[in-house]
Amino acid sequence: MKAKAKPSNVQPALVVDSEVVRQIRQHARSSSKAEVCGVLIGQDRDHRIDVAACIEGQNAEEAGAHVTFTQDTWEHIYAVKDQKYPSERIVGWYHSHPGFGVFLSDHDTFIHKNFFSSPGQVAWVFDPHSDEEGCFGWVGGRIERLTQISVIDRRGGEEAHEGADSESGEAKDENNEPVEVRREQKKISPIRIRRRDADDASESSDSSLERMVFTVFFYLLASVLGFALSWYVFPRVVVMPVLLDPRTGQLIDLQTGQVIPDSPNAKGATAKPPDPAQPDPHHAGQPSSSNPGSKKGNDVQPK
Protein backbone atom coordinates (compact mmCIF):
# COMPACT_ATOMS: atom_id res chain seq x y z
CA MET A 1 0.00 0.00 0.00
CA LYS A 2 1.33 3.43 -0.93
CA ALA A 3 2.60 5.54 1.97
CA LYS A 4 0.79 8.73 2.76
CA ALA A 5 2.31 11.85 1.27
CA LYS A 6 3.11 14.91 3.29
CA PRO A 7 0.12 17.26 3.57
CA SER A 8 0.33 20.40 1.44
CA ASN A 9 -1.35 23.76 1.90
CA VAL A 10 -1.77 24.07 -1.88
CA GLN A 11 -4.91 22.75 -3.52
CA PRO A 12 -4.21 19.87 -5.92
CA ALA A 13 -5.13 20.27 -9.57
CA LEU A 14 -7.86 17.78 -10.46
CA VAL A 15 -8.14 16.50 -14.04
CA VAL A 16 -11.18 14.29 -14.75
CA ASP A 17 -11.97 12.45 -17.96
CA SER A 18 -15.31 13.50 -19.42
CA GLU A 19 -16.38 9.86 -19.72
CA VAL A 20 -15.96 9.47 -15.95
CA VAL A 21 -18.21 12.48 -15.33
CA ARG A 22 -20.82 11.02 -17.69
CA GLN A 23 -20.76 7.64 -15.91
CA ILE A 24 -21.08 9.25 -12.47
CA ARG A 25 -24.10 11.27 -13.59
CA GLN A 26 -25.70 8.22 -15.21
CA HIS A 27 -25.21 6.14 -12.06
CA ALA A 28 -26.62 8.89 -9.82
CA ARG A 29 -29.68 9.40 -12.01
CA SER A 30 -30.50 5.70 -11.79
CA SER A 31 -31.62 6.28 -8.18
CA SER A 32 -33.56 9.49 -7.63
CA LYS A 33 -34.35 8.82 -3.94
CA ALA A 34 -31.38 6.90 -2.50
CA GLU A 35 -27.68 7.72 -2.55
CA VAL A 36 -25.29 5.71 -4.72
CA CYS A 37 -21.52 5.47 -4.50
CA GLY A 38 -18.39 4.34 -6.29
CA VAL A 39 -14.63 4.89 -6.44
CA LEU A 40 -12.39 6.95 -8.73
CA ILE A 41 -9.43 5.32 -10.50
CA GLY A 42 -6.33 7.13 -11.71
CA GLN A 43 -2.98 8.57 -10.61
CA ASP A 44 -1.79 11.39 -8.38
CA ARG A 45 1.62 13.07 -8.60
CA ASP A 46 3.09 16.52 -8.02
CA HIS A 47 -0.12 18.05 -6.63
CA ARG A 48 -2.06 16.78 -9.65
CA ILE A 49 -4.78 14.13 -9.54
CA ASP A 50 -5.79 12.45 -12.81
CA VAL A 51 -9.08 10.54 -12.78
CA ALA A 52 -9.25 8.14 -15.73
CA ALA A 53 -12.06 5.75 -14.71
CA CYS A 54 -14.62 4.91 -12.05
CA ILE A 55 -16.08 1.75 -10.57
CA GLU A 56 -19.63 1.53 -9.26
CA GLY A 57 -20.04 0.53 -5.63
CA GLN A 58 -22.35 -2.46 -5.91
CA ASN A 59 -23.99 -4.02 -2.83
CA ALA A 60 -23.56 -0.78 -0.85
CA GLU A 61 -25.97 0.17 1.91
CA GLU A 62 -27.96 2.91 0.16
CA ALA A 63 -30.41 5.22 1.93
CA GLY A 64 -32.05 8.56 1.28
CA ALA A 65 -29.46 10.57 3.20
CA HIS A 66 -26.37 8.38 3.41
CA VAL A 67 -24.49 5.53 1.75
CA THR A 68 -22.03 2.99 3.22
CA PHE A 69 -19.36 0.86 1.58
CA THR A 70 -19.88 -2.75 2.69
CA GLN A 71 -17.44 -5.64 2.57
CA ASP A 72 -19.12 -6.95 -0.57
CA THR A 73 -18.76 -3.49 -2.12
CA TRP A 74 -15.00 -3.44 -1.54
CA GLU A 75 -14.57 -6.95 -2.86
CA HIS A 76 -16.35 -6.01 -6.08
CA ILE A 77 -14.32 -2.79 -6.43
CA TYR A 78 -10.92 -4.52 -6.03
CA ALA A 79 -11.92 -7.33 -8.37
CA VAL A 80 -12.77 -4.88 -11.16
CA LYS A 81 -9.69 -2.77 -10.46
CA ASP A 82 -7.28 -5.72 -10.63
CA GLN A 83 -8.87 -6.89 -13.86
CA LYS A 84 -9.27 -3.61 -15.76
CA TYR A 85 -6.94 -1.12 -14.08
CA PRO A 86 -4.01 -3.05 -12.57
CA SER A 87 -1.55 -0.17 -12.93
CA GLU A 88 -3.90 2.49 -11.54
CA ARG A 89 -4.82 3.29 -7.95
CA ILE A 90 -7.91 4.48 -6.10
CA VAL A 91 -7.73 8.30 -6.06
CA GLY A 92 -11.06 8.98 -4.38
CA TRP A 93 -14.74 8.20 -4.34
CA TYR A 94 -18.05 9.61 -5.52
CA HIS A 95 -21.60 9.57 -4.24
CA SER A 96 -24.89 11.28 -4.98
CA HIS A 97 -27.00 13.72 -2.99
CA PRO A 98 -30.48 13.37 -4.52
CA GLY A 99 -32.20 16.69 -3.93
CA PHE A 100 -30.12 18.24 -1.15
CA GLY A 101 -27.15 19.93 -2.83
CA VAL A 102 -23.40 19.52 -2.90
CA PHE A 103 -21.58 19.23 0.43
CA LEU A 104 -20.05 16.62 2.74
CA SER A 105 -22.25 15.53 5.61
CA ASP A 106 -20.85 14.21 8.89
CA HIS A 107 -21.28 10.67 7.61
CA ASP A 108 -19.51 11.58 4.33
CA THR A 109 -16.66 13.20 6.25
CA PHE A 110 -16.29 10.06 8.37
CA ILE A 111 -16.00 7.90 5.24
CA HIS A 112 -13.47 10.24 3.65
CA LYS A 113 -11.27 10.43 6.76
CA ASN A 114 -11.24 6.67 7.36
CA PHE A 115 -11.17 5.22 3.84
CA PHE A 116 -9.76 8.02 1.66
CA SER A 117 -7.31 9.77 3.94
CA SER A 118 -4.46 10.10 1.43
CA PRO A 119 -3.73 13.70 0.25
CA GLY A 120 -4.16 12.44 -3.31
CA GLN A 121 -7.74 11.25 -2.80
CA VAL A 122 -10.88 13.32 -3.40
CA ALA A 123 -14.65 13.08 -2.92
CA TRP A 124 -16.93 13.86 -5.88
CA VAL A 125 -20.55 14.80 -5.09
CA PHE A 126 -23.38 15.03 -7.65
CA ASP A 127 -27.01 16.05 -7.15
CA PRO A 128 -29.14 14.38 -9.87
CA HIS A 129 -32.10 16.64 -9.18
CA SER A 130 -30.32 19.95 -9.81
CA ASP A 131 -27.34 18.61 -11.84
CA GLU A 132 -25.03 20.44 -9.43
CA GLU A 133 -21.68 18.83 -8.76
CA GLY A 134 -18.46 19.53 -6.88
CA CYS A 135 -15.33 17.93 -5.52
CA PHE A 136 -13.64 17.99 -2.12
CA GLY A 137 -10.03 17.18 -1.25
CA TRP A 138 -7.26 17.45 1.31
CA VAL A 139 -5.62 20.88 1.68
CA GLY A 140 -3.18 21.23 4.56
CA GLY A 141 -4.78 18.36 6.48
CA ARG A 142 -8.28 19.79 6.07
CA ILE A 143 -11.09 18.81 3.72
CA GLU A 144 -11.94 21.71 1.41
CA ARG A 145 -13.88 22.16 -1.78
CA LEU A 146 -11.52 22.17 -4.76
CA THR A 147 -11.56 24.98 -7.30
CA GLN A 148 -8.93 23.77 -9.80
CA ILE A 149 -10.98 21.18 -11.71
CA SER A 150 -10.53 20.39 -15.39
CA VAL A 151 -12.72 18.04 -17.42
CA ILE A 152 -11.02 16.79 -20.56
CA ASP A 153 -12.05 14.52 -23.41
CA ARG A 154 -9.47 11.81 -24.05
CA ARG A 155 -11.55 10.11 -26.73
CA GLY A 156 -9.81 10.77 -30.04
CA GLY A 157 -11.08 10.30 -33.56
CA GLU A 158 -10.80 7.00 -35.36
CA GLU A 159 -8.79 6.62 -38.54
CA ALA A 160 -10.92 6.25 -41.64
CA HIS A 161 -10.20 3.27 -43.89
CA GLU A 162 -11.36 2.53 -47.41
CA GLY A 163 -13.46 -0.52 -48.22
CA ALA A 164 -12.08 -3.80 -49.49
CA ASP A 165 -13.14 -3.12 -53.07
CA SER A 166 -11.36 0.21 -53.07
CA GLU A 167 -8.21 -1.29 -51.63
CA SER A 168 -8.08 -4.02 -54.28
CA GLY A 169 -8.44 -1.45 -57.03
CA GLU A 170 -11.33 -3.32 -58.65
CA ALA A 171 -15.04 -2.60 -58.90
CA LYS A 172 -17.92 -4.66 -60.13
CA ASP A 173 -20.75 -3.77 -62.48
CA GLU A 174 -24.35 -4.94 -62.35
CA ASN A 175 -23.39 -8.36 -63.78
CA ASN A 176 -20.78 -8.85 -61.04
CA GLU A 177 -18.00 -8.49 -63.59
CA PRO A 178 -14.77 -6.75 -62.60
CA VAL A 179 -14.40 -3.29 -64.01
CA GLU A 180 -11.12 -1.48 -64.22
CA VAL A 181 -11.06 1.56 -62.02
CA ARG A 182 -8.63 4.37 -62.71
CA ARG A 183 -7.48 6.17 -59.61
CA GLU A 184 -6.29 9.69 -59.76
CA GLN A 185 -4.22 11.11 -57.03
CA LYS A 186 -5.84 14.32 -55.95
CA LYS A 187 -4.11 17.09 -54.23
CA ILE A 188 -5.69 17.75 -50.88
CA SER A 189 -5.93 21.42 -50.17
CA PRO A 190 -5.75 22.54 -46.57
CA ILE A 191 -8.96 23.50 -44.86
CA ARG A 192 -9.02 27.03 -43.62
CA ILE A 193 -10.87 27.56 -40.40
CA ARG A 194 -12.05 31.06 -39.66
CA ARG A 195 -13.38 32.26 -36.37
CA ARG A 196 -17.09 32.80 -36.61
CA ASP A 197 -17.12 35.53 -34.00
CA ALA A 198 -14.52 37.56 -35.94
CA ASP A 199 -16.57 37.23 -39.15
CA ASP A 200 -19.72 38.25 -37.32
CA ALA A 201 -17.95 41.27 -35.84
CA SER A 202 -16.67 42.31 -39.29
CA GLU A 203 -20.10 41.89 -40.89
CA SER A 204 -21.73 43.78 -38.05
CA SER A 205 -19.23 46.65 -38.44
CA ASP A 206 -19.85 46.84 -42.19
CA SER A 207 -23.61 46.81 -41.67
CA SER A 208 -23.38 49.60 -39.09
CA LEU A 209 -21.32 51.74 -41.46
CA GLU A 210 -23.78 51.18 -44.30
CA ARG A 211 -26.72 52.11 -42.07
CA MET A 212 -24.96 55.28 -40.93
CA VAL A 213 -24.15 56.38 -44.52
CA PHE A 214 -27.72 55.67 -45.64
CA THR A 215 -29.15 57.62 -42.70
CA VAL A 216 -26.97 60.68 -43.38
CA PHE A 217 -27.79 60.62 -47.09
CA PHE A 218 -31.52 60.27 -46.36
CA TYR A 219 -31.57 63.27 -44.03
CA LEU A 220 -29.60 65.43 -46.48
CA LEU A 221 -31.97 64.52 -49.31
CA ALA A 222 -35.00 65.26 -47.14
CA SER A 223 -33.55 68.65 -46.16
CA VAL A 224 -32.90 69.64 -49.80
CA LEU A 225 -36.38 68.60 -50.91
CA GLY A 226 -38.00 70.44 -48.02
CA PHE A 227 -36.08 73.64 -48.77
CA ALA A 228 -36.99 73.47 -52.48
CA LEU A 229 -40.67 72.88 -51.68
CA SER A 230 -40.84 75.79 -49.27
CA TRP A 231 -39.10 78.07 -51.82
CA TYR A 232 -41.69 77.47 -54.54
CA VAL A 233 -44.85 77.05 -52.45
CA PHE A 234 -44.68 79.53 -49.59
CA PRO A 235 -44.60 83.36 -50.15
CA ARG A 236 -41.22 85.00 -49.90
CA VAL A 237 -40.40 88.39 -48.41
CA VAL A 238 -37.97 90.39 -50.53
CA VAL A 239 -36.08 93.08 -48.67
CA MET A 240 -34.98 96.02 -50.84
CA PRO A 241 -32.93 98.94 -49.57
CA VAL A 242 -34.35 102.48 -50.14
CA LEU A 243 -32.96 105.99 -49.60
CA LEU A 244 -34.96 108.93 -48.27
CA ASP A 245 -34.18 112.63 -48.42
CA PRO A 246 -33.65 113.63 -44.78
CA ARG A 247 -35.21 117.10 -45.35
CA THR A 248 -38.25 116.32 -47.48
CA GLY A 249 -38.71 112.63 -46.73
CA GLN A 250 -38.99 111.83 -50.43
CA LEU A 251 -37.51 108.76 -52.12
CA ILE A 252 -34.16 109.06 -53.86
CA ASP A 253 -33.35 107.06 -56.98
CA LEU A 254 -30.43 104.74 -56.24
CA GLN A 255 -29.11 104.92 -59.80
CA THR A 256 -29.35 108.69 -60.48
CA GLY A 257 -29.28 110.03 -56.97
CA GLN A 258 -32.19 112.42 -57.76
CA VAL A 259 -35.29 112.91 -55.65
CA ILE A 260 -38.27 111.06 -57.05
CA PRO A 261 -41.27 113.48 -57.28
CA ASP A 262 -44.49 112.56 -55.55
CA SER A 263 -46.81 110.52 -57.69
CA PRO A 264 -50.42 111.72 -58.32
CA ASN A 265 -52.97 110.68 -55.77
CA ALA A 266 -55.74 108.26 -56.39
CA LYS A 267 -58.03 111.00 -58.00
CA GLY A 268 -55.44 112.07 -60.47
CA ALA A 269 -54.75 115.42 -58.77
CA THR A 270 -51.20 116.50 -58.11
CA ALA A 271 -49.96 117.63 -54.81
CA LYS A 272 -51.00 121.09 -53.68
CA PRO A 273 -48.52 123.94 -54.22
CA PRO A 274 -46.97 125.31 -51.08
CA ASP A 275 -48.97 128.00 -49.25
CA PRO A 276 -47.31 131.44 -49.56
CA ALA A 277 -48.38 132.27 -46.07
CA GLN A 278 -46.52 129.25 -44.70
CA PRO A 279 -42.81 129.58 -44.13
CA ASP A 280 -40.57 127.91 -46.58
CA PRO A 281 -38.81 125.00 -44.94
CA HIS A 282 -35.78 125.66 -47.12
CA HIS A 283 -35.54 129.29 -45.86
CA ALA A 284 -36.37 128.98 -42.26
CA GLY A 285 -36.72 132.26 -40.38
CA GLN A 286 -37.52 134.34 -43.54
CA PRO A 287 -41.15 135.40 -44.03
CA SER A 288 -42.58 134.75 -47.41
CA SER A 289 -44.20 137.61 -49.35
CA SER A 290 -46.68 137.54 -52.16
CA ASN A 291 -45.17 140.75 -53.57
CA PRO A 292 -41.69 140.00 -54.68
CA GLY A 293 -41.08 143.69 -55.43
CA SER A 294 -42.05 144.99 -52.03
CA LYS A 295 -39.54 146.59 -49.78
CA LYS A 296 -38.74 145.88 -46.26
CA GLY A 297 -40.79 148.05 -43.92
CA ASN A 298 -44.09 149.89 -44.74
CA ASP A 299 -45.93 149.16 -48.01
CA VAL A 300 -45.65 151.92 -50.63
CA GLN A 301 -49.03 153.05 -51.90
CA PRO A 302 -49.25 154.63 -55.36
CA LYS A 303 -50.47 158.18 -55.53
pLDDT at 203: 60
> Do 17 and 152 touch, CB atoms closer than 8 A?
yes
pLDDT averaged over consecutive 10-residue blocks of the chain (303 residues)? 60 94 95 92 92 93 86 94 95 94 93 94 95 94 92 67 42 48 41 46 69 86 84 74 74 73 54 53 49 46 47
Give the separation between CA 38 and CA 103, rounded to whole angstroms: 17
Distance of CA 303 to the CA centre of its chain: 124
pLDDT at 225: 85
pLDDT at 182: 44
pLDDT at 23: 96
pLDDT at 243: 72
125, with CB counted inside 10 A (0-12, 13-18, 19+), is buried
> Do 10 and 120 touch, CB atoms closer than 8 A?
no
